[in-house]
């Protein structure tokens, strides 16, 4: 199901990290079938596009992407359950600005935000889920659980999905 985060979620996260909500999401979205992305917000095309998309989800602007990269790095460094998911040399990009996000960083972002992340691959035309509950393997229930939806336009370029094709409703 497609059930994106909303303004209340944004305010909650901004309050948690003492950030300003620049552009609240004003749409009210009921769960719909998870289809092909229809409306996306294009992020700046650089090696920070994943973190730009996360920043945009939370604050309504891309400018806080470095802050979220640091929060994710801390989550990986201090969360032993996440550390078990990667090999010794696998986690390097959070220590280096302007490098592509790794799968471990995407998982850590979901855990940090307590929000599952769905990523649509433009190449395979399928959705991958990065479960916020990956540590205890509780399945994502998108009938009531709001999630983040991103489109991966090319291997390391991400955009925020605001709406999907409506072929049916739940």
10 CB-near residues (< 8 Å, 6+ apart): 21, 24, 25, 57, 58, 59, 60
Instruction: Classify strands 117-121 and 148-154 as parallel, antiparallel or unpaired.
Output: parallel
pLDDT of residue 151 exceeding 50:
yes
Domain span including residue 121? 7-164
Q: Confirm whether 169 is domain-assigned.
A: no
**Gap between the Cα atoms of 147 and 110, Å rounded:** 9
Distances (CA, A) of 39 to 3, 70, 75, 167: 14, 29, 31, 15
Q: Confirm whether 118 is domain-assigned.
A: yes
Count of domains in the chain? 1
What's the CATH number where 157 sits? 3.90.70.80
**Gap between the Cα atoms of 34 and 127, Å rounded:** 8
**Residue 166 has what pLDDT?**
83
pTM: 0.90
Q: Confirm whether 78 is domain-assigned.
A: yes
pLDDT of residue 170 exceeding 50:
no
**Residue 18 has what pLDDT?**
97
Q: Confirm whether 96 is domain-assigned.
A: yes
For 133-149, b where at least 16 C-beta lie within 10 A, e where not — what string?
A: ebeeeeebebeeeebbb
Q: Confirm whether 170 is domain-assigned.
A: no
Q: Confirm whether 71 is domain-assigned.
A: yes
Taking only the tens place, the pLDDT of each residue in 28-87 is: 777 889 999 999 999 999 889 999 999 999 999 999 999 999 999 999 888 888 888 776
Taking only the tens place, the pLDDT of each residue in 81-139 is: 888 877 665 555 555 555 778 888 999 999 999 999 999 998 899 999 999 997 777 88
**Residue 4 has what pLDDT?**
94
């Amino acid at each position: 199901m497609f059930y994106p985060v909303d303004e209340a979620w944004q305010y909650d996260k901004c309050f948690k990290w003492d950030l300003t909500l620049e552009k609240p999401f004003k749409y009210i979205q009921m769960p719909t079938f998870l289809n092909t992305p229809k409306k996306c917000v294009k992020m700046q095309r650089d090696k920070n596009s994943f973190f730009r998309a996360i920043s945009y989800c939370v604050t309504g602007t891309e400018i806080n992407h470095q802050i979220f990269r640091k929060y994710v790095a801390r989550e990986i460094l201090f969360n032993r359950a996440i550390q078990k998911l990667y090999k010794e040399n696998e986690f390097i990009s959070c220590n280096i600005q302007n490098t592509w996000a790794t799968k471990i960083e995407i998982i850590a972002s979901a855990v940090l935000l307590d929000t599952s992340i769905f990523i649509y691959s433009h190449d395979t035309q399928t959705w991958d889920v990065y479960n916020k509950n990956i540590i205890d393997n509780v399945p994502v229930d998108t009938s009531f659980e709001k999630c983040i939806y991103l489109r991966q336009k090319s291997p390391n370029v991400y955009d925020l999905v605001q709406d999907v094709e409506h072929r049916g409703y739940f």
